[in-house]
Chains A and B, each alone.
Chain A
Amino acid sequence: MEQSVARPQSELAPGEVLKLAQLAPSILRNIPKSFSSSLLLSLFSASETPEIWTAYENLLLACCRTGDMESAREFLERLVLRFGNDNERVLAFKGLVKEAAADNQGELVQILKEYETILGPTTTNIPVAKRRVALLRSMGKTSEAIEALNDLLDYSPTDAESWAELADIYLSQGLYPQAIYSLEEVLVLTPNAWNIHARLGEVLYMAASSSDTLRQKHLTESVKRFSRSIELCDDYIRGYYGLKLATGKLLKDPPKVSMHAESGDWIPPDTTTTEKLNELATKKLAEIVRRNLAGEPLWQGYKPSEIAAARELLEKDSADLVR
């Protein structure tokens, strides 16, 4: 089995999903339908590894996306065969396959009702609760989704994934303070997640552009978050890009002394510090772009779109300087 199948999947581009889904039939053929629990038989037949089940879940998702429902059902059947009908994850996957196959609003409402009967008044089946939130959001009932997610977080407050989803929903509604709060909760749970630090920096930057009163505070905080993300991860293009944007904006309209005095609990950085950070970000971005485009083998992990965006930013910056 290929290594890539068993890896946790992130947001794949359609082409990659297609490639993954095309592997499905051959994997279904090569791996036996069930594994024997007898010790003697397991000596002769293929052995069961945890990677197989991760791969099945990934392939199930990929097949649902590409519309290969036959393979998706086959994977689901195997998961049911192994883990039983009442397993929490299996229940969630069953719902997922039904959602993918549904083509009208009535069916979706039906699935939603099924979720509610599974959840009942007291059970804490987290995967199914998450599916319910996702379905509500997908159907456009955002306020209900937020409510359900808050209920979920009430009994499972250490679930970083749910907090991240909540932040995303709030952000899609333009509720910046709530989104920032949720992302801070994620950071409390996973303080070393450099991408979440960068994400929070981005959200703060967006919040700074939308409000005038807290503008300076958000910008300062955003610079801090981006700085933390590059502290946690060398050559992090997203962190440097954000740092350059945020410091650039902070340099354009420097904080007034009066604002500093009235809020008290935060101190804007020195202009020299901000300038230094801006210079550093420019230098590092230029280095990353140069090395990536020169084809250095250890610098090819960046997405082409990221590199293009960084290049554009640098070019815009130098054009401003010349002018």
Chain B
Amino acid sequence: MAWISRSIIIAGLLLLAHACYSVQEHAALQSFQAASSLTAGTPKSSGSLLPTDIVVETILATVVVCLGLIFRAPDLRPIQWRVWAGRIERVCEGSRGEPGHGFTGNPFRILESRPGFVDIRKQRHEFADWAKSRELLVRD
């Protein structure tokens, strides 16, 4: 779906560039006309207003670019605590629908694992036992 939003943004930017170019051309034309009318001796004062189609094009281009950017935005995160927490518990890491970039799991998990108080010797023993049992399994 990324290509849709990207093409919308590109189309909007092209429209915007076209509108800018039109304004530039219009201004150049106006100043040329003013200069020529000065030499002809008939003063005209209606040179400051832009034609409606250029104004409409500019506004439309801006809206289209904004829409494209909105479509590109990543999925919103849940705003309710329990929904957000529930998703952390329910959804497997790395699957689709994961709570997005920077997903760190349950932030209160450290209150139960307590890395500051880790009993490294016990963990080493457990790991050694596990490795031994796995070796036995492989040998069988």
Binding site for B on A (CB under 8 A): 4, 7-11, 14-15, 17-18, 61, 64-67, 92, 96, 99-100, 102, 127, 130-131, 133-134, 137-138, 160-162, 164-165, 168, 186, 190, 192-196, 199, 231-237, 297-302
- The verdict on A160 contacting B105 (CB below 8 Å), with A233-B85, A234-B85 known, is no
Q: Is B95 in the interface zone, CB < 8 Å from A?
A: yes
The DSSP consensus for interface residues of chain B is helix
**Number of contacts between A and B (CB, 8 Å)?**
138
CB distance from A293 to the nearest CB of B (A): 14
Q: Which of B24-32, B41-49, B111-119 contacts A (4 or more CB under 8 A)?
A: B111-119
Contact A195:B106 (CB < 8 A) given known A9-B115, A298-B97, A300-B92: yes
Which applies to chain A's interface (DSSP): helix, strand, loop or mixed?
A: helix
Q: Which of A161, A231, A232 is packed against the most chain B CB atoms within 10 Å?
A: A161
| Contact with B113, one of A11, A131, A133, A231 (Cβ below 8 angstroms) | A11
Contact assessment for B81 and A232 in the assembled complex, using a CB-CB cutoff below 8 Å = yes
User: Are B113 and A10 in contact, with the CB atoms below 8 A?
Assistant: yes
Stretch from B14-22, B58-66, B125-133 that touches the partner: B125-133
Query: Which residues, 93 to 140 on B, are CB-close (under 8 Å) to A?
Result: 93, 95-97, 104-106, 108-124, 126-128, 130-131
- Assembly CA distance A193 to B110 (angstroms): 11
> CA separation between A14 and B122, bound complex, in Å?
12
Task: Give complex CA distance A99, B88 in Å.
Answer: 34
The answer to whether A165 and B117 have CB atoms under 8 Å apart is yes
* CB-contact partner of A61 in B93, B118, B131, under 8 A: B118
Contact call B117/A134, Cβ cutoff below 8 A: yes
CB neighbours (8 Å) of A297 from chain B are: 95-97
Q: Determine if B90 and A96 form an interchain contact, defined as CB atoms under 8 angstroms apart.
A: no
Contact B108 A67 (CB under 8 A): no
- B89 adjacent to A65 (CB under 8 Å): no
Q: Which of B85, B109, B116, B120 contacts A10 (CB 8 A)?
A: B109
Of B90, B96, B114, B117, which is within 8 A of A301 by CB?
A: B90
Contacts of B88 in A (CB 8 A): 233, 301
